[in-house]
Structure 1
Amino acid sequence: MDWIGLTIFAALMQAVRTAGQKQLTSSLSAIASTWARYGFGLPLALIYFLIVWQQRTDPFPDLSLRFSVYVSLAAGAQLLATLLLVKVLSLRNFSVGTTYAKTEGILAALLGTALFGALLHPLAWLAIGLGIAGVLLVSVSRAKVGLRAIIDGRTACYGLMAGAGFALTALWVRAASLELSTDPLFSAALILLLSILLQGSVCSLLVHRQNPDNWRRLAGNVKVCAFVGLTGTLGSIGWYSAFALQEAAIVKSLGQVEFIFTLLLTYFFFKERISRQEWIGILLVMASVILLLWAV
């Protein structure tokens, strides 16, 4: 499976995981809900790494200091971004906040150019812009809110900071993968396992420090927590593997198809009608995907 299939799979898993994460925010704190993503995802990440490792014949690669720094930065950025996104889901205008978070594609392109000198084809920049426009159109239509909600300072701040965190995560994961100079799938599996170990450890301390009773509440929501952990880790396997194979901004931009999956889920499972404005947004995202694949 190449980076295109991995990205589409990751976007689908992310759409499903977000639905479960939203359900958790009604009964758990932001940090406890975030812990579910890593605590319940660790076993799957470990099993996946062992499977990939057993298929290798090359010796275990040397882990440089730069690799360790990139992994630590990526893990920290993703943890912070996840916390912010969970916080956004608890706000009244969470649809608007998650839309701001979806600027991660353009943020990854801008930050990648500024920090790593990544060069993108002009068509790729156009594709990223079209994808963002489509996502904005769909989100504003579904949110059914006024201009005041769209420019709400707290919602915009949390959403944009989450988007920047996810963008930096993608860039640092790719940088860490390139440092290993080994099989991309193995490097992605290793980076994912190390990241979840770091994130789970930090989250565990924060959960206990906030309120020891959080563990009882997590146990009371074990089914939803396991669902979030499973789908979240499956999505991360797709994302990290795709980052190892392709520029982060390109992967994140193709990942905007998550919005199409979300709309299809609401249409087929919740019988909600798709409006004309949402159809236009879908067409813009599809046009973005076509241009993106043409550019690369």
Structure 2
Amino acid sequence: MKSAFSLVQMLRAPYTAGKFKRVNLMEWIAFTLLAALMQAVRTAGQKQLTNTMSAIVATWARYGFGFPVAVVYFVIIWRDQFDLLRHFSLTFYAIVLCAALFQLVATLLLVKVLSLRNFAVGTTFAKTEGIFAAIIGAVVFSAAFSLAAWLAIVIGVIGLVFVSLAKSNISVQSAWHSKTFILGITAGICFALTSLLLREASLVSDANPIMTAAYVLMISLGIQGLLCSGLVQWQSPNNWQQLRGQSKTILFVGLTGTLGSIGWYTAFSFQEAAIVKALGQVEYIVTLALTHYFFKETISKVEWIGIISVLVSVVLLLVGV
């Protein structure tokens, strides 16, 4: 209990540039690895849900049950420092709203992709978000990357895209005519925009980055939960019946999804979105492990190429940061 209390105190400590400059290197790496692990596990749970319910209902499970977890996390982190909320501007809230909308669209697309192809291929298509985050970040948000970081991002993404095309037997020429590929690429762009906007929200706030991330997460899940509930009801009132008998899986998806979001949102507070996403590609290795042990999918030779590209990417990334 004492160590847990000390951790909370550290997370809630007032922001000072010097302090966070010393500790944020390990913090963004730790939070990114947490996010990658939880996202892989959460996506596995969502794959199970898509077998028995529509994409929109499976998406609602992510936000509807994740929001209470985000509220609890926010209260623990902020506790008696709610007076800091007055430091957030209208610009901050506008950025958070846009990020929440892009993430909702991206999640809907990803869940749809999972219902069209096998688990590993579906998640890999959305991994193009790393290169999109780097390009958009450099052009629009003036993000600067070292040569090693650029190489890391490109090698990781190209390796995973190559694996996706090989596994789905889609040629480069016909790739853009593939519904799965197009949906996955679009999801990647939306996820990239989400990451960049979350990073921007942290930069326009003068509060502790970890506390800001907790606040942004709670707001985002609240917005996404409300919008997704409206979509579920609009599509069909009978959609809610699909949730019956899936309570354990839904709670699992909500919990792991929120834990993953805590990792992503906090990592973005300390590091450029493209860099975080490049390291987050280790999720691919976790995904393959899940497909092998839980979905009984054999890891092929071409998938080993993907694993090697991710490992090379991570090494280059850590050298270049």
Contact map agreement 1:61 1:180 (CA 8 A) in 2: no
**Residue in 1 that maps onto 2:95:** 70
Q: Does 1:287 align with 2:312?
A: yes
Give distance in 2, aligned partners of 1:258 and 1:150. 23
**Residue in 2 that maps onto 1:246:** 271
Q: Does 1:218 align with 2:243?
A: yes
**Residue in 2 that maps onto 1:162:** 187
Q: CA deviation at 1:31?
A: 1.2
Give 1:172-251 correspondences, 5 Å limit.
172-251=197-276
Contact map agreement 1:11 1:258 (CA 8 A) in 2: yes
Q: Does 1:107 align with 2:132?
A: yes
**Residue in 2 that maps onto 1:30:** 55
Segment drifting more, 19-28 vs 262-271: 262-271
**Residue in 1 that maps onto 2:4:** none
SS in 2 for 1:204: helix
TM-score of the pair, normalised by structure 2: 0.86
One-letter code aligned to 2:217: L
One-letter code aligned to 2:224: Q
One-letter code aligned to 1:62: H
**Residue in 2 that maps onto 1:145:** 169
One-letter code aligned to 1:4: I
Task: Identify if the C-alpha distance between structure 1 residues 57 and 192 changes in structure 2 by more than 3 Å, giving closer, same or farther.
Answer: closer
TM-score of the pair, normalised by structure 1: 0.93
Segment drifting more, 228-237 vs 211-220: 211-220
Identity across matched positions, percent: 56
Give distance in 2, aligned partners of 1:98 and 1:47. 29
Contact map agreement 1:96 1:139 (CA 8 A) in 2: yes
Query: How many positions carry a matched residue from both structures?
Result: 295
Give distance in 1, aligned partners of 2:82 and 2:236. 46
Q: Does 1:3 align with 2:13?
A: no
Q: CA RMSD in A?
A: 2.1
Q: Which runs of 5+ in 2 are unaligned?
A: 1-25
**Residue in 1 that maps onto 2:23:** none
Give 1:101-140 correspondences, 5 Å limit.
101-140=126-165
One-letter code aligned to 1:84: L
Per-residue CA distance 1:210-234 (angstroms, 9 max, x = gap): 1111112113322111111111111
Q: CA deviation at 1:292?
A: 0.5
Q: Does 1:83 align with 2:108?
A: yes
Segment drifting more, 92-101 vs 63-72: 92-101
